[in-house]
Every structure is written in C-alpha cells, then in structure tokens.
Amino acid sequence: MVLGLRQRTLANQSWRNLKPALSRSAYPSSIRLIRHDAVRQINGADPKYGQAIVFTTLVNPEVNQVVSKANALVLDMFQTFVAPLEQTLGMRSTHAINRLHHNADTDAYKNRIEAINYSLAHDDGQSNQNLADANVILVGVSRVGKTPTSLYLAMQYGLKAANYPLIPEDFERGQLPKDLLPHKQKIYGLTIDADRLCEIRNERRPGSNYAKLENCRYEINEATSMMRRESIPWVSTTSKSIEEIATTILQAIRSDKTILG
C-alpha cells in the first residue's frame, strides 16, 4: 500500500499546524503499475502544498526501489519497524503478501463467521428456528449479559450461541419457554446480584418498575429457582468479565460431549 500526504505547512516545526490532504492507493506488486500509476500520482502532487510525504508498506524490494525514486519524502514502514525487530529477534520475517487475507479462506474463519451470524439471528429470542444447531443456549433475565456473552463465544470460539430472555410470564407458568424444552441439555443460565441488576437497568430505564430493586430481586429469585428446578447450570455475572463468563461456559459445555458432538 502507498499512502501519500501532501504537506501544507510545518510552521515553527509544529505538527498542530499540519493540515494534510491524504491519498491512499493499493497497488498489486507490479513494477509497471507502480511506475506508471503510483509514482506518477506522487510526482503530480500540487507543488503549492510542498513536497509530498509517502508512507509505504510494500513487500517487493524492486517495487519499493521504484517508489523511493519518486519526488517525495518516502518512509518505508517495514524498513523502519520490521528490520530492527528482525535484528533484535535474530530471525527474518516472511515478507509475504496478503497473509491476513488468506485467513478468510480457512474453514475455521468461515465457521466463525457462520457462528457470529447465527448468534445475531438468535439474539434475545428473536428466532426459534434451527435451535438444534446451537452449541449453547444462554438464558437469564433482561440485562444479565446474555448478548455480549453469546457474541464473544461466537467470535472467539466459533460457537453458535443463542440466547433467550426469561420474563415474568415464564415465572408465572413456572417453566421454561416452550421453544427451549426440546433443547434443555444445551441451556446454560446467567444470573446476577439484584443490586447490580438494578443499577444496570436504571441506566437504561431510570425510575421504571422494570428497574426497581424489588422487581429485580423477584426476577432473579424466580429465574434462579427455575434453573435449579430444571437442573440447568448457571454462573453469576456480577463480578466477572465477559471473558471469564465465556470461559466458565466453555469449560462446562466441553465437558458435556452431547453438546459439542
């Protein structure tokens, strides 16, 4: 990649007075294209702005040499940072092109994207379709941390994580939502301290019955009782990070061979 910056002024050597006009160009590693397109663009920079400043991340040394002859201050980012690292580490970098893009062709990458799409489609009980494909179904009251945990499991571990809210109607019936009953072995519960839940809900809907401490206590107590009655494992999210919550769930479902298959 070639990134050009046309200097307007560096009065008193102060960066605050720099008002750059940026031009970003991505070129294939072709000397012909670089010479005729990139270098021509650099050399054609309006001189009233001063000398062009060019940052490059070019891997091909021949291409880099062509760009270095342009009428500009050329700063090779790889030479600036990678070369000292090679010397310090005592090893040479691969200097390969498009290594990050190759990740998109791997099965692991495709599975992760599929898991993310699945978790988004099954967030907060939006869909009851294909629940049999879920690796885990998180349940809990509103604002207990189901959505961020589901997405973290999908993004970091490639797990298809659905999540379902437990609402007062479920507590009145005394059972899980009917769509979840055939998949009870995949369910994992999230709970939270009522005081903390009250704080979180008041940030969203201050002063509402939904956010009142007594209502939070009622919902948490009912949800916990339901999980205990249905033999559903759960974890408290009160003082745990998303990473810690996800790790706890992952350990539990990995120990259950019927979930991951």
* pLDDT the model gives residue 200: 96
Provide the pairing of β-strand 161-165 with 52-56: unpaired
What does the pLDDT average to over 169-196?
96
Q: Tokens 């885990």 sit at which residue? A: 136
Query: pLDDT grade, residue 103 (50/70/90)?
Result: low
Is 151's pLDDT higher than 60? yes
Query: pLDDT grade, residue 212 (50/70/90)?
Result: very high
User: pLDDT: is 35 or 166 the higher one?
Assistant: 166
Query: pLDDT grade, residue 85 (50/70/90)?
Result: confident
* Least confident window among 34-43, 50-59, 67-76, 145-154: 34-43
* Least confident window among 73-82, 122-131, 186-195, 235-244: 73-82
Sequence-distant (6+) residues with CB within 8 A of 125 are 163, 164, 165, 177, 179
Query: pLDDT grade, residue 209 (50/70/90)?
Result: very high
pTM over 0.85: no
* pLDDT the model gives residue 171: 97
The tokens for 132 are 């049999």
* Least confident window among 24-33, 48-57, 74-83: 24-33
What is the residue-averaged pLDDT of the chain?
A: 83
Q: Tokens 């062009």 sit at which residue? A: 52
Question: Per-residue DSSP letters for the chain?
Answer: -EEEEE----GGG-GGG---EEEEE---S-HHHIIIIIHHHHHTS-GGG-SEEEEE----HHHHHHHHTSSEEEEEHHHHHHHHHHHHHTS-----SSHHHHGGGSHHHHHHHHHHHHHHHTGGGS--TTGGG-SEEEEESTTSSHHHHHHHHHHHH---EEEEE--HHHHHHTS--GGGGGGGGGEEEEE--HHHHHHHHHHHSTTSGGG-HHHHHHHHHHHHHHHHHTT--EEE-TT--HHHHHHHHHHHHHS-HHHH-
* Least confident window among 17-21, 73-77, 81-85, 124-128: 17-21
Q: Taking CA 116 as the corner, what is the angle to CA 110 and CA 118, rounded to the nearest 5 degrees?
A: 100
Nearest to 189 by CA among 165, 154, 160: 165
* pLDDT the model gives residue 105: 64
Give percent of the chain with pLDDT exceeding 70: 79
Taking only the tens place, the pLDDT of each residue in 114-129 is 999 999 999 999 999 9
What does the pLDDT average to over 128-144?
96
